Amino acid sequence: MKEKVIQFGEGGFLRGFADWMLQRINETTDFAGKVVVVQPIEKGMCDLLEAQGCVYTHLCRGAEGMDVKKIDVISRCVKPYEDFESYLALAENPDFRFVISNTTEAGITFVDTDRFTDRPSKSFPGKLTQLLKKRFDLGLGGFVFLPCELIDKNGENLKKCVLQYVDLWELGDDFRNWIEKENIFCNTLVDRINTGYPKDEKIDVGFDDKLINTSEYFHLWVIEGYQDLCSELPFDKCGLNVIVTDNLEMYRTRKVRILNGAHTSLVPYALLSGFDTVKSCIDDENMLTHLKKCIFDEIIPTLDLPKEELVAYANDVITRFSNPYIRHMLSSIALNSVSKFKVRVLPSILEYIKRFHAMPETLLFSFAKLIDFYRTDMTNDDPEIEAFMKKATVGEILAAEILWDEDLSFLEKEVAKYVTAK
């Protein structure tokens, strides 16, 4: 197999997401591609990965059961902080086509103190610019970038940072034009809960695997702006949940409104009712009914994707919430619940009213439980928000544009009837 993918990041998420997918692609198609992992920080897991031949075991676990797969798609690791020349030498291989990354949300940043002569540059985009310049100087083609960092427009922001380094380091217009014309920076959305190494379990996988990785079954990769992707990287030939689209925002909205919105519309009510985990709510008939009414009756009707697609995604969400291997604490989701409600739930309430000229009763009930929740000592938010929410009337809370970016006084009657802590 040829080395075709450069991967910045060796952590559990990429190994349980992108590498797991590439393993399936190799097993079911003629892609025949290997991954070279670049350790983007000075200290990482590459030594451990290399010690076991870059082979590890991945377990998908959930209400669906368990799937065990040996992953051997990684050919080798490169550590720029130890051997910068080996890192730059990656530019010499014309077979490299894809660059995948997960350098955390803070990874795609521009650091104006970085220098081209640093070995390596401190930031991930800086390291990338150094590699791209070597590639350009060799007269080779560019890459397709598939960043997995959890920021909006990750591909566009990565490209912006690279071009900032081109200007800062005065690398020339020809190089800038090559980046613009020969490289494709895709915006992507990734979704999979990776639960990492099972520390408190003994799992026999046939060898002493110190890098066993675990995740839920569900996976989703939405990739924007490269319609020919599957002709080069055949996600579509092996049943992977990868969507190539020219409008990623619809899928981001779907995730925020359904998955995140379900969490946020559930958590205050559930904590007030004495529940502690998401799964404990799914196991309770009343909580599950509340959740399903929020999702299927009041959130889905406000979204524009095909209904059957939205329903299928929502059913996947319910299954994910019932995963016995994931202990998702409601208290952790409750952090900064006011701002989360504004982003995740309020748009569904307003869109429902706009479309149907009626009130979404279950979501408004959730709004009332949010207010009740903030009148307890269970919240974890900005102290000023906590103090205001605890003392203000329902009318004052709804009228507070600083919280909701608009005056919601018109909802007072509908919300107040469900508020118990008057």
Beta bridge partners of residue 329, listed in sequence order = 277
Decide if pLDDT at 4 tops 80.
yes
Residue 165 has pLDDT above 70, yes or no: yes
SS3 170: coil
361, containing H or E segment = helix 361-373
Smallest CA-to-CA distance from 125 within 150, 91, 152, 99 is with 99
Q: How far apart are CA 209 and CA 178, in angstroms?
A: 43
Q: What is the pLDDT of residues 331-371, one digit of tens each?
A: 999 999 999 999 999 999 999 999 999 999 999 999 999 99
Q: Which residues does 267 contact at the CB level (< 8 Å), separation at least 6?
A: 330, 333, 334, 337
Peptide bond connecting 120 to the previous residue in cis, omega within 30 degrees of 0: yes
C-alpha–C-alpha distance, residues 406 and 366, integer Å: 19
pLDDT of residue 104: 81
pLDDT in tens, 286-297: 999 999 999 999
- 144 by DSSP, 3-state: which? strand
Bridge partners (DSSP) listed for residue 62: 65
Closest CA relative to residue 262, chosen from 325, 322, 326 = 322
Identical topology for domains 2-246 and 249-416: no
User: Can you identify the CATH homologous superfamily of domain 2-246?
Assistant: NAD(P)-binding Rossmann-like Domain (3.40.50.720)
Provide the 3-class DSSP secondary structure of residue 27: helix
Residue type, 374: Y
Whether 58 and 20 have beta carbons less than 8 Å apart is answered as yes
β-strand pairing of 33-38 with 187-191: unpaired
Q: Which amino acid is at 18?
A: A
Return the bridge partners of 224, or none. 187, 245
Question: CATH topology for 249-416?
Answer: N-(1-d-carboxylethyl)-l-norvaline Dehydrogenase; domain 2 (1.10.1040)
Q: Are strands 194-196 and 187-191 parallel, antiparallel or unpaired?
A: unpaired
Query: What is the spatial order of strands in the sheet that 213-215 belongs to?
Result: 65-71, 56-62, 213-215, 194-196
pLDDT in tens, 298-317: 999 999 999 999 999 999 99
| Local confidence band at 105 (pLDDT 50, 70, 90 cut-offs) | confident
Structure tokens at 88: 């730059």
- Identify whether the C-beta of residue 231 lies closer than 8 Å to the C-beta of residue 200: no
DSSP characters over 362-402: HHHHHHHHHHHHTTSS---S-HHHHHHHHHS-HHHHHH-HH
Helix (H) or strand (E) holding 19: helix 18-28
Domain ranges of the chain: 2-246, 249-416
Give 382-401 pLDDT, tens digit per residue.
Answer: 999 999 999 999 999 999 99
CB 153 within 8 A of CB 187: yes
Helix count (H) and strand count (E) of the chain?
A: 21, 13
Provide the whole-model pTM: 0.92
pLDDT classification of 202: cutoffs 50, 70, 90: confident
